[in-house]
Structure 1
Amino acid sequence: MWWLLLFVCACHGAPTHDTFTVSAPNGPLSVWIGSSIILPCSVSPAFTASLQVRWHRPDKYKTPVLLYENRQVQEQPADPQYKGRVSLIGQLEKGNVSLKLENVSLADSGEFVCFVAGDTWYEQASVHLIVKVMGSPPVLSVTYGGSGQVNITCVSDGWAPQPNLTWRNNGVTEIPSQNHHSATDDHGLVSVTSWLVHSSSGSKWVACSVGLPEEERKESRILPYISGVDTVELERILRDKEAEMERLKQKSEGPWKEVFISFLVLLLLSSATVFVLYRKGFIKCKDLKEAEAEYRKQDKLETESLLKTQSEEVETLKKTITELQSELDKNKGEVEAHKQQITVKLDRIQRDKEAEMERLKQKSEAQVKELEERLIASGAKVDRLKQESTGLLKTQSEEVETLKKMITELRSELETNKGEVEAHKQQITVELDRIQRDKEAEMERLKQKSEAQVKELEERLIASGAKVDRLKQESTELRSELETNKGEVEAHKQQITVELERKLRDKEAEMECLKQKSEGAFPQNHALLLTWDKLKGFKESPNMDEASVQGNLRAKGKRVQCVKPNRDQPLNTYHFILCKDPFSSGQHYWEMRIENKLSCVLAGLGPSQVVLVDQLQANLPELCFIMFCLYLDYT
């Protein structure tokens, strides 16, 4: 029983004939700008002609990238920016509905949706595309940062997507830096900027490299110092020493001490300058003595100039100090007044602050009290929730125990049914083996039958080939015979044409003769033609008055007599009485035509009257036929 349920479930879980699945890669696809790429998408089971394939962007369903419907790619409606750049790669019958995108642009970055729809079912899958653009090489610049350090900046632009930037010391050790910044322009290209504070003597050179993941990187290098760095350092040292000298001047009593101290300071500065230049590599060891002598000479000149300048500055400073002292005494009163005002303002601010603090204290106490009350209420609520949760836990524990018992029973039942399942499995295996053997035997029989049929068809083809050759030969003979008979047919045709022309001439001569004879008889029959209107009127109205009937029509009784004519007498002197089969009722009439020119109608005027034809006086041609018509109203 279990194997039957499993079979039913498996059948139910299998897709029906009208359903299908659509699959596409999970990860993103990357492509360089300007190149081509295939966006994979497949349908399972295989593609059928009734399916519709629609490639579109997520927000442009109505204007798809490509639409395949009714066994062909539809031109409308389609997104104009993809015209001529997209196509299906073929193999639709195998379920391959992949899209080929050519001349990729930066606007193609993002998601593409593969939508497949049937009559009653549809599925879709998405493909994410990343368009890559190689940016410019990084540009490095150095500025002085103070304290023997430099600020190195690295800039690179024109990348897509956002690249990563790395600093390295001497091209080996990576230098960590958190100072990174990126910006995207209107075209979607990314620019990256990074700066690094580095020691001016810490390494030979510093490198900045920029690139996309798993792609070739672009790198630039720079020396970590700038021209004029030592001059800047010396200027800073001079400023520091000048400040120190100013301090010593204030402590000294006379200008000679100041001059001496200045000389010592300049000497120290010169020594420091030489030391720094030597350390930076601007002066080599072998040139140290010459450089020192040169610097001493320059220092002497600078010292003399500096002494003179310092003396003037000392006098100026003394005057300035005197002026500042007087101004300081003048401003002391103002400072005391401002001090009193500030004291008053500080007292007022202190009082306001204390009042504000008191108000805040009271407010905080009220809030604390309110919070305590809320905590008490929440504690009661928590206790109530604890009780409810305890009851729920107890109920759930009982349900869990019940479920455990049910699981145990189901497991025991499952173990019991395992034997049955195994037995059914063996039966199914045996049955499948038998079906397989029968199938193989049937296949062998069909194979032999098909081979026999193929052999028979080959024999028939050989026989039909011989028959075709024979028919071709007969056809050739018939064609030759037909060509032979064409001459005879043409000869007969000419003979027949000549004969027909002769007969036509004879017929025309005969017609001309008849026409002449007819024109000769017409005057004699003119009297009959004059009565044609009356006869015609009687034909149209056979019940008209007897008095208006033609004189040669008269009544002879109720019976119709048929008299055989005497062929020895001339036709224009014999009385003709023509009749049909006997009748007893109904209306009848007979019509007479003479050479299709003259006509008369004979009819009875009453129910008991019979009209017979009297002798017709007319000179009729020999070849004319006379037919008399009798109309009877016989009841």
Structure 2
Amino acid sequence: MKVMTFIKNVLVCLFHNTECLKVVGPAAPLLAVAGEDLVLPCSIQPNTSALDMRVEWFRVDVTDSLVHLYKDQEDKNEGQILSYRGRTALSKEELQKGNASLKLSAVRASDEGAYKCLVEAKSWYDDITVNVIVEVLGTHPVITIEGYDNLGGINLVCESRGWNPKPEVWWLDREGVTLTAEDTETHRDTEGFQVKHSITVYDSGSNRFYCRLQQKHHMTERDIIISGKCEFQHFFTVLVIIDFIFAVVFTVTITCVCQKKGIIFN
């Protein structure tokens, strides 16, 4: 489709002996932050007034896809997607300069997707696609203790939901040093990404641990303070063999005793 459009526009330029126009936009996806305003770039090169042209913005990935329509020198948004009502705008001053960029106010998670900018004159048209990723801050992380291992380690789990895109997750000690986690589970539902990050910590002089989740524009963390003393489990086996006929095994186990003075979640 793009190749045919390009060929058609070149033929029109040659036939009318005029300079060929093209519509240009961003090469990479746009990263938007939920709640903030976003400008979707779209312009004509070389700069040519679009005041008398038809400019249509629509979603590529949904039905009934109109986001904004400008024609006959005015906005015609009767068929606009309801969720965009009152949130889109084109500037006539910018259209005069060949700039058909769309301003989208108060970005929502549902705005994420692919947008088409179509600019059309009587004897020429062209379009570009703009991809939008909406960054949404998830819930404040929750840390839980899921048990202890037989070396006296404490199993900690950090959970958070509602992120978009998927955040990076780390465990850190009180000095800010990144710790190696055992397992990370990630699921996506209608509310966004849900993450579950697990680690086992031991008595190493640090009793404060942080779970941190981060995107490009967002970061949130929670810490846990574990105060107390834990004596590690000691395990040994005594094997006694009598005349190679039978064996008697004595197993002595001293279990781990954790005297926790307190566990504090911040």
Same fold (TM over 0.5): yes
Structure 2 match to 1:64: 66
2:149 alignment partner, one of 121, 145, 158: 145
Q: Deviations over 1:145-189 (max 9, x none)?
A: 1113222211122222211101222233212335211122223x2
1:94-109 alignment runs, 5 A limit: 94-109=97-112
Structure 1 residue 71, shift from structure 2 partner = 1.7
Higher helix share goes to which structure? 1
1:484-495 alignment runs, 5 A limit: none
Tell whether the 8 Å contact from 2:207 to 2:227 is kept in structure 1 after alignment.
no
The structure-2 alpha-carbon separation of the partners of 1:130 and 1:175, relative to structure 1 and needing over 3 Å to count, comes to same
Structure 1 match to 2:36: 35
Distance 1:150 1:62 in 2: 53
Say yes or no: does 1:211 pair with 2:203.
no
Structure 2 match to 1:201: 204
RMSD of equivalent CA atoms: 3.5
Tell whether the 8 Å contact from 2:173 to 2:208 is kept in structure 1 after alignment.
yes
Structure 2 match to 1:73: 75
Distance 1:281 1:101 in 2: 53
1:300-311 alignment runs, 5 A limit: none
Structure 1 match to 2:174: 170
Distance 2:182 2:70 in 1: 51
1:126 alignment partner, one of 124, 129, 140: 129
Distance 2:50 2:102 in 1: 18
Distance 2:18 2:50 in 1: 11
Structure 1 residue 226, shift from structure 2 partner = 7.3
Distance 1:116 1:125 in 2: 9
2:85 alignment partner, one of 83, 86, 89: 83
Say yes or no: does 1:55 pair with 2:26.
no
Structure 1 residue 199, shift from structure 2 partner = 2.1
Structure 1 residue 97, shift from structure 2 partner = 0.9
Distance 2:91 2:182 in 1: 47
Secondary structure of the corresponding residue to residue 96 of structure 2: helix
The structure-2 alpha-carbon separation of the partners of 1:28 and 1:59, relative to structure 1 and needing over 3 Å to count, comes to closer
Q: Which runs of 4+ in 1 moved over 4 A?
A: 224-227
Secondary structure of the corresponding residue to residue 171 of structure 1: coil
Secondary structure of the corresponding residue to residue 25 of structure 1: coil
Tell whether the 8 Å contact from 1:201 to 1:224 is kept in structure 2 after alignment.
no
The residue identity in structure 1 corresponding to 2:41 is P
Secondary structure of the corresponding residue to residue 130 of structure 1: strand
Structure 1 residue 101, shift from structure 2 partner = 1.0
Tell whether the 8 Å contact from 1:32 to 1:132 is kept in structure 2 after alignment.
yes
1:181 alignment partner, one of 185, 193, 203: 185
Unaligned 5+ segments in structure 1 are: 1-11, 252-264, 283-635
Unaligned 5+ segments in structure 2 are: 1-12, 243-251, 262-266
Q: Deviations over 1:76-115 (max 9, x none)?
A: 3322221222111232111111111122211101221111
Distance 1:51 1:81 in 2: 26
Structure 1 residue 34, shift from structure 2 partner = 2.4
Q: Percent identity?
A: 27
The structure-2 alpha-carbon separation of the partners of 1:16 and 1:50, relative to structure 1 and needing over 3 Å to count, comes to farther
Tell whether the 8 Å contact from 1:198 to 1:224 is kept in structure 2 after alignment.
no
How many residues end up aligned between the 2 structures?
A: 236
